[in-house]
Amino acid sequence: MRSLIRGRMAWVLAAVAAILVASLGTGRAASPPSEINIGTLYASTGPFAVSSESEYRGLQFWAEGVNKEGGVFVKAFDKKIPVKITAFDDQSSTSTATTLYNQLITQNKVDILVADFGSVLTSVAVPLAAEHHMLLIDPTGSGANFFTQKTDYLAEVSLPASSVWPVPLALFLLDHKIQRVAVIFGSNDFDASQAETLKALLEKGKVSPVYFHAVPTTESNYQVLLHTLAASHPDAVIEFGYAGNDISFLRALASSGLHFDMVFTVFPGQLFDLLIKNVGVKTLSYTLTYPTAPLVTYEKVTNGLNTADFVAAFKKATGRDANFLDVAGYNAGVIIEKMLGTATEFSQLAFHSALMEMSGNTTTLVGDFKINENGAQVGELLPVAQLQPEGRGLKIVVVYPSDKATGKLVNPAPRR
């Protein structure tokens, strides 16, 4: 009898242990938390500060909005729960970000982890999240190397993977029979993956770049580079960089005395007002970019505010004109909100399953939300737009693809 009791006790203890292990493995909460703790980072200083603070501001705007309504509805607990954002300043440093992401996961034990702006500051979060079996909500880190294998712990939500950004750009150049293309790009995954995709697609179309050159991400002096690439007599000059690179490149172009028929840079389409302020209308006139919300608008959405309503509400709440990074931060919140309202359990794997269920049938103010099994956003291809003079300012004219065009391309660009 005693041995039978011991046997039963051993079976019960083993069963309890198995339940505990399963619960820990899935991150299941036994009872509803008093608040949903969302952990994130932002940069108050350094090269990514302007973009990072905008993205963080958009996430805060979302949180304040849902909390006014009593919080987010969490299906796993069948109730609304307020949102809390735990945020630390990484100062644009990947080493500092590594420490702080780890702190959010292991010490603050946040329920949901959201990456800081861009690929550089997201790069250190991706392996940490996977190591700790924590789903990483990635608003704008689009580096291609993040999405090379199947994962349950990464979801890009507001931008496509950078490796597909230049697909419409490449097709645009080929359709317009641009034969001589010069490409200069930052030596980071975000910019380099764009450059490599563009080069591969052009070469597939029998066009080989006449100039293809990488520069440090911190590059700020483009004078010599511009004169070097001018010697290749390009019909189009493509510069892939972050906002600081674009500003330095365009300033150098304006002061160089050089003129190119077609010039493309990335961030006027994301931080329009910042580029106008730092570069000026004259220099930006007739240049090309990828337009993003709110420069392009989405009226019909399934979740959250549409683009126009967000712009109005954000202006009223903050006194600021919204840029794309404000939109991206808000959109991350919208996706989190629907995820929590879809997931049948309060666990990291259930969150990921909810995102996959949402994929392909969710539209927000940045377009169609669709992710593949590697976590890459594949539903939002970026069109090509030209910044054309209008009065004392500039208007965004989508010139490619034709079914999204809002006007005609001016090429060659008039001399400034």
pLDDT, tens digit (0-9, with 9 covering 90-100), for 231-240: 999 999 999 9
Q: What percent of the chain has pLDDT over 90?
A: 88
- pLDDT tens-digit readout, 147-172: 999 999 999 999 988 988 999 999 99
Residue 163's pLDDT is what?
Answer: 87
Q: How far apart (Å, rounded) are the C-alpha atoms in residues 20 and 325?
A: 41
Confidence of residue 2 (pLDDT cuts 50, 70, 90): very low
pLDDT band with cut points at 50, 70 and 90 for residue 342? very high
Which residue is it, tokens 């004169």?
A: 227
Confidence of residue 10 (pLDDT cuts 50, 70, 90): very low
- pTM score: 0.83
Give the pLDDT confidence score for residue 381 in this predicted structure. 79
Name the band, by pLDDT with cuts 50, 70 and 90, for residue 74.
Answer: very high
**Which token pair is 393?**
């300012």
Question: Check: CATH 3.40.50.720 for 36-161+296-369?
Answer: no
Asked if pLDDT for residue 26 goes beyond 80, the answer is no
Residue 7 has pLDDT above 80, yes or no: no
Which pLDDT band, with edges at 50, 70 and 90, does 15 fall under?
very low
In this predicted structure, the answer to whether residue 218 has a pLDDT above a threshold of 80 is: yes
* Per-residue pLDDT, 4: 38
Cα 269 from Cα 273, distance rounded (Å): 10
- In the chain, domain spans: 36-161+296-369, 166-289+383-404
Between 5-9, 36-40, 123-127, the lowest mean confidence (pLDDT) is in 5-9
The domain 166-289+383-404 having CATH identifier 3.40.50.2300: the answer here is yes
Confidence of residue 16 (pLDDT cuts 50, 70, 90): very low
Q: Which residues contact 234 (CB under 8 A, 6 or more apart)?
A: 180, 181, 182, 210, 211, 260
* Predicted pLDDT of residue 379: 83
pLDDT value at residue 20: 37
Alpha carbon distance 97, 129 (integer Å): 13
- Taking only the tens place, the pLDDT of each residue in 49-71 is 999 999 999 999 999 999 999 99
- 156-212 pLDDT, tens digit per residue, is 999 988 988 999 999 999 999 999 999 999 999 899 999 999 999 999 999 999 999
Burial class (CB in 10 A: 0-12, 13-18, 19+), 376: buried
Contact (Cβ atoms closer than 8 angstroms) between residue 17 and residue 25: no
pLDDT digits (tens, 9 = 90+) for 258-295: 999 999 999 999 999 999 999 999 999 999 999 999 98
pLDDT in tens, 316-341: 999 999 999 999 999 999 999 999 99
Average pLDDT, the chain: 92
Q: How confident is the model at residue 30 (pLDDT cuts 50, 70, 90)?
A: low
The pLDDT of residue 23 is above 50: no
pLDDT for res 6: 45
